[in-house]
Amino acid sequence: MEFLESINWAILAPIVIIQLILVAVAIIDLVKIEKANGPKWVWALIVLFINLLGPIIYFIFGRRS
């Protein structure tokens, strides 16, 4: 796993943090929102397990407009 060691984590940290914020905000919103565009638990899975894109897909298609 020298690859992981060779990475400068200071550089990558912001990306990881941004991803975590997006997931957190999406989940908070999902919990608070009256009704999502489809079952909430499906959206929770999407937000949590689709890397990078999950929260974005939720914000665009999951909130009922």
Candidates 13, 14, 26, 17; CA nearest to 53 is 26
Give the list of residues 6+ apart from residue 19 with CB closer than 8 angstroms, or none.
52
Taking the complex as a whole, how short is the minimal distance between the CB of residue 60 and another protein, in angstroms?
5
Task: Map residues 5-44 to x or -, x wherever contact with another protein holds by CB under 8 A.
Answer: -xx---xx-xx--xx-xx--xx--x----x----------
Candidates 22, 32, 24; CA nearest to 60 is 22
Q: Which residues bind another protein (CB under 8 A)?
A: 3, 6-7, 11-12, 14-15, 18-19, 21-22, 25-26, 29, 34, 52, 55-56, 59-60, 63, 65
